[in-house]
């Protein structure tokens, strides 16, 4: 940050903060936290919407060597409490409009006004010795059991990703990276925010994604690159008119979730290049398409690495033996950006980090030219709006309804490339419950992106020989019904 003190680092609406201003403000916030009793290794939970205050809080926490725990601002009280109970933070940073879902832990309201009050204080915090492997962030992602996994990521991962991401995409100091993804998500953190710093570029932060205003905002802010997750690009493809030719966006980075013909149409219509890549909370390295080389339909690209920090990937069988070219197996990664482990979960950590590799749980294959292809998720979780969603978590909420006896939740690919959350429900005899009532029940207890899109009321659910619900069969039923709806 000291190399370009007066350069714009962060733009949010009409607000602009230089590299020096962000550095100074985060130093004062570090001193504020230290005076509040926070020290190295303490957890600091944060539940805020996108704002400059989020980034200042994050950087201030990092300077102390404390560990930031982002909580999705859409989470309801039960979801928030589950994370807080597990990570035991010393303090929770939150907005006044979100405070009702934060309980039992000292809370601090963070907004522009409160930051101004902190800004009058000293920035002379007492520095703690830090090493690259020290934990920086605990990012909670849903597991298949419904219990969130706290991914512990290090300072090394964020610094390396910040340096590597601009190299992967050919970004430099003149670029302006736009993100409308939540700062609780590793994409907005490690790729957009750290990538902007690594390139000595500018980060354009938006509150959220809005299809109706996206291109106007991109044009007004002279954005040159943005990251996409989930259905963003598909929504643009289906509903956005062709923008005026005077926008500056040249690149969009996305997971490989689009058919090649649709990607090509997006590139032609919006006059940009869509680059596919693969990473996850457990490792920000993975795969990326060559910027100037050939690309293959359905591919995630080739192994991506950074000078002096190699990345190894193999496709393995259940015994972690590398499979031949073209064979489908689990994708394993070995690189310097792999997580430290799962917080307070030794069993999950040892299951995932074994034999020197990160076991992603994702299935894929590699071809003779070194291009990797994603096939399916090994675990039974749902991908929606850039989030991994546990089906069993939603099932437990639905089963808590007094009129429900059985249910099954699964993700089914939809037109917008995101998974559609489909629920099959068996209600008590003579119950008059409706699908909309089930959705409302979920809406009162879960974040909006976890609410099922379709609810089918059934007399019974198909079972296997072990009496477990046959989700494979239900997926076929769901696909058939969705096509007919």
Give domain status of residue 2, yes or no. Answer: no
**333 and 477 inside one domain:** no
pLDDT at position 405: 85
- Collapsing DSSP to helix, strand or coil, 13 comes out as coil
Check: CB of residue 308 under 8 Å from CB of residue 336: no
The torsion defined by the Cα of 460, 465, 467 and 471, in degrees rounded to 10, comes to -60
Across 55-65, b (16+ Cβ under 10 Å) vs e yields bbbbbbbbbbb
Range list of H helices, 129-259 = 155-169, 186, 194-198, 214-220, 232-239
What is the largest distance, in Å, between two alpha-carbon atoms of the chain?
A: 71
349 & 448 share domain: no
Q: Which domain holds residue 430?
A: 381-484
Indicate whether 87 and 113 sit together in one domain.
Answer: yes
Q: How far out from the chain centre does Cα 286 lie?
A: 15
* Tokens 């925010």, residue located: 193
> Could you tell me if 242 and 332 lie in one domain?
yes
The model carries a pTM of 0.85
CB 479 within 8 A of CB 456: no
Whichever domain contains 403, its CATH number is 3.30.300.30
- Kindly state whether residues 326 and 179 are assigned to the same domain: yes
Give the C-alpha distances (Å, rounded to integers) separating 236 from 299, 416, 482: 21, 10, 22
3 domain-assigned? no
Instruction: Round to whole Å and give the CA distance between 381 and 273.
Output: 30
Q: Is residue 450 part of a domain?
A: yes
Which of these ranges, 70-79, 125-134, 371-380, has the smallest mean pLDDT?
A: 371-380
DSSP letter (8 states) at residue 379 = S
List phi, psi (to 5°) of 76: -85, 180
> Is the Cβ–Cβ distance between 219 and 244 less than 8 Å?
yes
Domain boundary (323, 347, 374) is at 374
Q: Into how many domains does the chain fold?
A: 2
* 174 and 272 share one domain: yes
One domain for residues 414 and 336: no
Least confident range from 254-258, 402-406, 421-425: namely: 254-258
Q: Domain ends where: 316, 344, 374?
A: 374
The last residue of a domain, from among 343, 374, 405: 374
Specify whether 332 is located in the same domain as 412. no
What are the CA-CA distances from residue 450 to residues 145, 366, 395, 399 (Å)? 15, 33, 11, 15
Check which CATH number belongs to the domain holding 267 and give it: 3.40.50.12780
Contact 331, 372 (CB under 8 A): yes
Same domain, 258 and 278: yes
Distance CA 288, CA 299 (A): 9
Q: How far apart are CA 238 and CA 137, in angstroms?
A: 36
CA distance linking residue 424 with residue 411, whole number of Å: 12
Residue 10 has pLDDT above 80, yes or no: yes
Are residues 324 and 455 located together in one domain of the fold?
no
Average pLDDT score over residue span 112-130 = 84
Any domain includes 1: no
> Do 222 and 322 belong together in one domain?
yes
For residues 162 and 91, state if they share a domain: yes
Cβ proximity of 199 and 171 under 8 Å? yes
**What are the pLDDT digits (tens) for 136-181?**
999 998 654 557 899 999 999 999 999 999 999 999 999 999 999 9
Q: What is the pLDDT of residue 465?
A: 44
Q: What percent of the chain has pLDDT over 70?
A: 93
């Amino acid at each position: 940050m000291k190399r370009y003190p007066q350069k714009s680092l962060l733009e949010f609406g009409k607000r602009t903060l230089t590299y020096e201003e962000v550095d100074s403000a985060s130093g004062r916030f570090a001193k504020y936290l230290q005076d509040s009793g926070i020290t190295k290794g303490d957890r600091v939970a944060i539940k805020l919407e996108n704002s400059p205050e989020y980034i200042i809080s994050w950087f201030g926490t990092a300077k102390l060597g404390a560990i930031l725990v982002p909580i999705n601002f859409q989470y309801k009280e039960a979801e928030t409490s589950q994370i807080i109970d597990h990570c035991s933070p010393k303090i929770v940073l939150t907005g006044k409009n979100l405070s009702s879902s934060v309980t039992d832990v000292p809370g601090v309201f963070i907004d522009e006004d409160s930051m101004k009050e902190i800004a009058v204080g000293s920035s002379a915090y007492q520095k703690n010795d830090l090493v690259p492997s020290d934990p920086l962030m605990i990012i909670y992602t849903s597991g298949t059991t419904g219990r969130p996994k706290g991914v512990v990521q290090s300072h090394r991962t964020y610094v390396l990703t910040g340096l590597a991401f601009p190299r992967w995409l050919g970004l430099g100091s003149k670029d302006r990276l736009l993100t409308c993804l939540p700062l609780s998500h590793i994409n907005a953190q490690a790729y957009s925010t750290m990538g902007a710093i690594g390139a000595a570029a500018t980060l354009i932060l938006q509150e959220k994604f809005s299809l109706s205003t996206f291109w106007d905002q991109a044009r007004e802010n002279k954005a040159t690159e943005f990251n996409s997750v989930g259905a963003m690009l598909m929504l643009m493809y289906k509903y956005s008119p062709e923008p005026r030719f005077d926008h500056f966006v040249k690149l969009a980075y996305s997971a490989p979730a689009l058919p090649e013909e649709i990607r090509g149409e997006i590139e032609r219509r919006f006059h940009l290049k869509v680059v596919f890549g693969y990473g996850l909370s457990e490792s920000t390295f993975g795969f990326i398409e060559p910027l100037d080389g050939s690309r293959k339909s359905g591919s995630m690209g080739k192994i991506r690495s950074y000078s002096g920090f190699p990345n190894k990937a193999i496709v393995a069988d259940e015994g972690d033996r590398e499979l031949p070219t073209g064979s489908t197996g689990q994708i394993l990664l070995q690189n310097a950006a792999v997580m430290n482990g799962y917080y307070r979960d030794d069993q999950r950590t040892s299951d995932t980090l074994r034999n020197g590799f990160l076991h992603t749980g994702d299935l894929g294959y590699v071809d003779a030219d070194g291009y990797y292809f994603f096939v399916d998720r090994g675990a039974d979780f749902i991908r929606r709006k850039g989030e991994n969603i546990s089906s069993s978590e939603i099932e437990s909420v639905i089963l808590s309804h007094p009129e429900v006896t059985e249910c099954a939740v699964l993700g089914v690919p939809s037109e917008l490339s995101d998974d559609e959350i489909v629920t099959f429900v068996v209600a008590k005899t003579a119950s008059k419950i409706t699908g909309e009532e089930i959705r409302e029940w979920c809406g009162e207890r879960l974040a909006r992106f976890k609410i099922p899109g379709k609810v089918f009321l059934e007399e019974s659910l198909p079972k296997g020989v072990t009496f477990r619900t046959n989700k494979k069969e239900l997926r076929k039923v769901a696909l058939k019904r969705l096509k007919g709806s």
